[in-house]
Amino acid sequence: MKMRVTVYNCRAFDEKELFEKYGKELGIELVLCPDAPDKENAALAKGSECIDILTSRMPKELLSVFADYGVRYITTRTIGYDHIDQKAASALGITIANAPYGPCGVADYTVMLILMTIRKMKRIIERTNIQDYSLSGIQGRELKDLTVGVIGTGRIGRTVIKDLSGFGCPLLAYDLYESQEVKQSGVPYVSLDEIWQKADVITLHVPLTDGNYHMIDEKAISRMKDGVMIVNTARGGLIDTGALISGIECGKIGGVGLDVVENEFGLYYYDHKSDILNNRELALLRGFPNVTISHHMAFYTDDCVETVVRDSLMGCKYFMEGMENPWEIKENQSKDGGGISDKACDRQEEESCGILK
Ligand code: NAI
């Protein structure tokens, strides 16, 4: 019998061709659906043991619809799998798997945002676009003179540390769990308060949990150095946006680079050119000359998209052939040190807006 996989949320502009290529290579027949899985389109999975999804929520009720159609394996083209009710899936006899991509894309992007922030690149580009070639107000700083505090030394944080080590800047690290690799590289772990007090640039690489929601708030900002620069490619909810705006307005914060913001949901990954938006904080942030914003893009590289398409299908093949599957999620497996609570998972989903994260 031919192996068959139903793919949901298949994006025509970057994923479809890759699915067709890898489907052919792996001998898998594909049903490609552009929409998120729901009770109405679940019938597309009839005859497929495996479905391939993105970050749309898979609660118990929806899982049981898929189980009734014979689905026994769900792979998500993301690192996080908190959007799938793991317990319900296991009770229904459904195996779940993810498709992690490498940390380099997000790490590259972080280094770029750090450099753009310290060199005032937003202002430079704006001026060049209107043939204003003046120099006043756009003098930058050199990374070698700045202490960078890296919060979160998992896959991405460690890669950022490795990348930054070539710039000669002093580095400080903070994590709930210390990494031998980081320590051996000579980067000291310090307390969060020490990061606030000593870092000229702070970069965030932790998952959003109940414990670290708004970890950068008014109090934390008040402990920071004058002119501190903050880069966030992790999750918007790690920063209290109101406090960030106040810090920028009073000049305490010298520059900001944000790939993620609070309340991204419904905004990011859609074209809102002609719309009046209801996110005042984002509008304020976009207006500041020293704030660079992008729309949750750090992951989005050719390598990442190809990796998740290929590996999600390979996982399906291994499953259908009864082979050892490196992407299978074991029950109670948690990808970060502390585990992500339901509340935090809800927030992450709200912020992710149904695309890779
Ligand atoms: P990871 O799981 O490898 O590392 C996370 C690290 O954070 C772990 O070392 C963990 O011990 C630490 N940690 C967890 N809670 C903490 C806390 N309260 N305080 C201090 N440390 C804590 O994750 P990875 O792959 O490095 O990703 C980091 C984050 O980057 C993700 O959770 C996600 O939010 C974000 N991300 C953003 C993307 C984007 O496109 N902007 C793409 C991929 C990930």
Q: What is the mean pLDDT of residues 132-158?
A: 98
Question: Which pLDDT score is estimated for 264?
Answer: 86
Packing angle, helices 121-129 and 104-118, rounded to 10: 70
pLDDT score of 354 more than 80:
no
Residue type, 339: G
pLDDT score of 6 more than 50:
yes
Nearest CA among 11, 77, 66 for reference residue 43: 66
3-101+300-352 and 104-293 in the same fold = yes
CA-to-CA dists, residue 37 to 16, 129, 130, 152, angstroms: 17, 43, 46, 33
Q: Which of 2-11, 34-43, 180-189, 261-270 has the lowest mean pLDDT?
A: 261-270
pLDDT score of 38 more than 60:
yes
Q: What is the mean pLDDT of residues 258-276?
A: 90
Question: What percentage of the chain has pLDDT greater than the value 70?
Answer: 92
Contact 322, 72 (CB under 8 A): no
- The one catalytic residue in 15, 296, 349, 351 is 296
Instruction: Enumerate the domain spans of the chain.
Output: 3-101+300-352, 104-293
Q: Give the C-alpha separation, 344 to 118, whole Å.
A: 31
| 279-313 pLDDT per residue, tens | 999 999 999 999 999 999 999 999 999 999 999 99
Ligand 1: which residues within 6 Å by Cβ? 103, 106, 152-157, 175-177, 205-207, 209, 211-212, 233-235, 259-260, 296, 298-299, 335-338, 357
Question: Which pLDDT score is estimated for 305?
Answer: 97
**C-alpha 335 – ligand 1 centre gap (Å):** 9
- Decide which of 176 and 341 is more confident: 176
Q: Which of 65-74, 100-109, 268-277 has the lowest mean pLDDT?
A: 268-277
Strands across the sheet containing 28-32: 28-32, 3-7, 50-53, 73-76, 95-98
Q: Has domain 104-293 been given CATH number 3.40.50.720?
A: yes
Contacts of 53 (CB under 8 A, 6+ apart): 8, 9, 36, 37, 74, 75, 76, 77
Question: Which pLDDT score is estimated for 86?
Answer: 93
Alpha carbon of residue 83 to chain centroid? 14
The domain 3-101+300-352: what is its CATH number? 3.40.50.720
pLDDT score of 353 more than 60:
no
Q: What is the mean pLDDT of residues 72-97?
A: 94
Question: Which pLDDT score is estimated for 269?
Answer: 84
**Nearest protein Cα to ligand 1, atom 18:** 212
Contacts of 144 (CB under 8 A, 6+ apart): 167, 168, 169
| 316-345 pLDDT per residue, tens | 999 999 999 999 998 755 444 333 333 333
